[in-house]
Amino acid sequence: MLPTHRRPTQPGKILLEEFLAPLEITQTALVAHLGGSWTQPKLSAIITGKKSITEMIALDLADALGTSAEFWIGLQTDVKLWEAARKRKKIKRLGTSGAQRSARKSIKTKS
């Protein structure tokens, strides 16, 4: 369930505070361990929330940190859903207005 009173914690903040700091792993060490397309600017952008967790990033972090890709994707999805919910116009639930109830009754009586 998404928090309603605050934005969900960014995955990068969780990466930094719950994984790197307690394990005393520097960002530089993580980048070196991950290799491939990982760079310091890329990791920094993830940690500051400027870059989203993609499927490939989630897989890499899961392998390196002993978590699951679903964990990282779930964190990112929570943030994206929270942001989207604040940007969109709320839509009324279908079937709640008097006119809609009357229309449903009319359809039922015609059957």
Please report, for the chain, the start and end positions of each structural domain, with discontinuous segments joined by +.
Answer: 11-110
Global pTM?
Answer: 0.79
Average pLDDT over every residue of 40-53:
98
Assigned token pair, 14: 């969780």
Q: If pLDDT is split at 50, 70 and 90, which confidence band does 30 have? A: very high
Confidence (pLDDT) at 28: 98
Nearest to 14 by CA among 42, 38, 49: 49
Judge whether residue 109 has pLDDT over 70.
Answer: no
Superfamily for the 11-110 domain: lambda repressor-like DNA-binding domains (1.10.260.40)
**Distances in whole angstroms, Cα of residue 67 to Cα of each of 15, 81, 111:** 11, 22, 55
Asked if 55 and 69 touch (Cβ cutoff 8 Å), the reply is yes
Asked if 39 and 45 touch (Cβ cutoff 8 Å), the reply is no
Assigned token pair, 59: 């897989």
Confidence (pLDDT) at 1: 65
Confidence (pLDDT) at 102: 64
Average pLDDT over every residue of 39-43:
98
Confidence (pLDDT) at 5: 81
CB contact set of 23 (below 8 Å; sequence gap of 6+): none
